[in-house]
């Protein structure tokens, strides 16, 4: 049985390295994308301070992002590609840090408490098939070290899963 270990670490890069090790252990031996997304969201929400939402949106066959496993308040279900922070990160295939969501044109407010946001694309064999979305109630919560840390976590999640069986 996996039990998350508290990380006492002021150095952000080291914090994410330790969290990445724990995520690898949590997902070890399981390749189901939904199950792994659920546990990844739960671990992130438990361990990373100052978040009010952490979870996944997946590209579905109808060409929209649809919410997947997450922790936090109920969220918008469907997001068009190119829409909001998630749809923009999906379209560009790049992570986006939003220091102030009120200043991001087209930001989709799911939880009005959210003040800043980080969205990381999920990439498998050069295809973007979804995003990992993090929201914080604090403005300017995410910096480049958080971005690098969450990109590392997203890569561990993607590598742990078998995608062919999940398609469609």
Q: How far is the CB of 27 from ligand SME (least distance, A)?
A: 22
Which residues, in sequence order, are bridge partners of residue 54?
71, 134
**Helix-helix angle 12-27:144-160, to 10 degrees:** 10
Tokens encoding 93: 């295939």
Tokens encoding 152: 């590392």
Angle (CA) 148-98-104 rounded to 5° is 155
Residues 67-106 that bind ligand SME (CB under 6 A): 75-76, 79, 84-86
Q: How far is the CB of 20 from ligand SME (least distance, A)?
A: 23
135 in contact with ligand SME (CB under 6 A)? yes
133 in contact with ligand SME (CB under 6 A)? yes
117 in contact with ligand SME (CB under 6 A)? yes
Q: How far is the CB of 88 from ligand SME (least distance, A)?
A: 7
* Residue 96 backbone phi and psi in degrees, to 5: -130, 130
- Binding residues for ligand SME, rule: CB under 6 A, are 53, 75-76, 79, 84-86, 107-108, 110, 114, 117, 133, 135
């Amino acid at each position: 049985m996996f039990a998350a270990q508290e990380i006492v670490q002021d150095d952000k890069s080291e914090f994410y390295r330790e969290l990445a090790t724990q995520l690898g252990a949590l997902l070890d031996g399981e390749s189901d994308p939904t199950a792994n997304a659920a546990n990844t969201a739960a671990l992130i929400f438990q361990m990373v301070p100052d978040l009010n939402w952490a979870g996944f949106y997946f590209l579905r066959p109808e060409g929209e992002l649809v919410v997947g496993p997450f922790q936090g308040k109920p969220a918008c279900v469907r997001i068009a590609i190119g829409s909001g922070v998630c749809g923009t990160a999906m379209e560009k295939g790049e992570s986006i840090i939003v220091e102030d969501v009120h200043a991001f044109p087209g930001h989709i407010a799911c939880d009005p408490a959210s003040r800043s946001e980080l969205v990381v694309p999920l990439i498998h064999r050069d295809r973007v098939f979804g995003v990992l979305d993090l929201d914080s109630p604090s403005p300017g919560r995410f910096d480049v070290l958080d971005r690098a840390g969450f990109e590392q976590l997203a890569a561990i999640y993607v590598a742990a899963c078998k995608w062919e069986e999940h398609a469609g």
